[in-house]
Structures are given as structure tokens and as C-alpha cells.
């Protein structure tokens, strides 16, 4: 299933402890491991409050959406204008592609070398906004 409209801008995949194992970010403003630790802590806090993790939150003009699947957190950001359902569908699609490429057997034997996941961007290009689109949005 290919997306007609790319709604996700940036994406992070992290362990429950907050280690970022993959990220694709256009303009890094915060170290990805620091970001991962913060997101894991926020999700853990939300779980303590409501027995569920955080599903999304907004900062300025962006919405951050979180999906927890098989002990990993998939986090993306998108415009607040993007439909939440569409963003969550894309995040589910990305998680499915991730586990197809890196099955749980591979992850259970993972040696903490994040370079294993470098090729993942090729698998999810259909879901992510491209740099030129962001450039156009900023200047046109």
C-alpha cells in the first residue's frame, strides 16, 4: 500500500529504554539520543498515569505521534493539519515494514550496533515528506 500524500516529516525508532536505533530527521535541533531518552521517559510517565502510553502531543506547529509495538517506540512528527488517523496508519505501516525487515529473532540477537538499521530509509521513503517539499512549504 503506497501513500498518495506523505504526512510524516521526521521519524525515530527507539527501544523502551530510550536508545534511538533509527532516525531520519531533516533539521536536527536536539541530539537523537537525548530526544529518545525524553520520549521514553514521557511514554513511561504516561503509562504510569493511565496504563497506556502516550499516543500524541503537540508542540508549536507540529504533532508528535507515538506507537508502541513489540517493545519499540515508533515516533513521528507531522503538521498539526495532518489527520491523526492518517498519521497513525503511516506509523503502523512503517512498524510493519520494520519488523518484516528486522524480525524479532534479529532484534533479540542485536548487538546494539545501530548501523544495522541504516538501510531502513529505503523501505519507508513512500511515507516520509521529502526535503524539497519542506523547502517549498517554507518559501512558496
Q: How far is CA 16 from CA 3, 19, 70, in A?
A: 28, 8, 10
**Which pLDDT tens digits describe the chain residue by residue (140 residues)?**
444 457 888 899 998 888 899 988 877 777 788 888 888 888 787 777 666 667 888 888 889 998 989 989 999 999 999 898 999 999 999 999 999 999 988 888 888 888 899 888 888 877 666 544 544 555 55
- Contact residues for 97 (Cβ-Cβ < 8 A; gap 6+): 120, 123, 124
- What pLDDT was estimated at residue 92? 93
- What pLDDT was estimated at residue 102? 93
- What pLDDT was estimated at residue 6? 74
- Listed in sequence order, the DSSP H helices in the chain are 32-50, 84-101, 104-108, 120-124, 131-139
- What pLDDT was estimated at residue 8? 85
Q: Which CATH class is domain 10-139?
A: alpha beta
Amino acid at each position: 500500500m503506497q501513500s498518495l500524500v506523505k504526512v510524516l516529516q521526521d521519524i525515530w525508532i527507539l527501544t523502551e529504554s530510550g536508545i534511538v536505533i533509527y532516525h531520519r530527521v531533516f533539521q536536527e535541533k536536539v541530539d537523537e539520543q537525548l530526544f529518545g531518552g525524553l520520549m521514553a521517559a514521557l511514554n513511561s510517565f504516561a503509562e504510569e498515569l493511565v496504563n497506556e502510553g502516550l499516543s500524541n502531543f503537540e508542540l508549536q506547529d507540529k504533532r508528535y505521534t507515538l506507537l508502541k509495538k513489540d517493545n519499540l517506540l515508533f515516533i513521528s512528527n507531522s503538521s498539526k493539519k495532518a489527520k491523526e488517523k492518517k498519521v497513525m496508519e503511516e506509523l503502523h505501516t512503517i512498524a510493519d515494514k520494520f519488523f518484516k525487515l528486522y524480525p524479532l529473532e534479529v532484534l533479540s540477537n542485536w548487538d546494539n550496533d545501530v548501523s544495522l538499521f541504516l538501510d531502513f530509509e529505503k523501505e519507508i521513503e513512500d511515507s516520509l515528506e521529502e526535503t524539497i517539499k519542506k523547502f517549498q512549504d517554507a518559501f512558496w
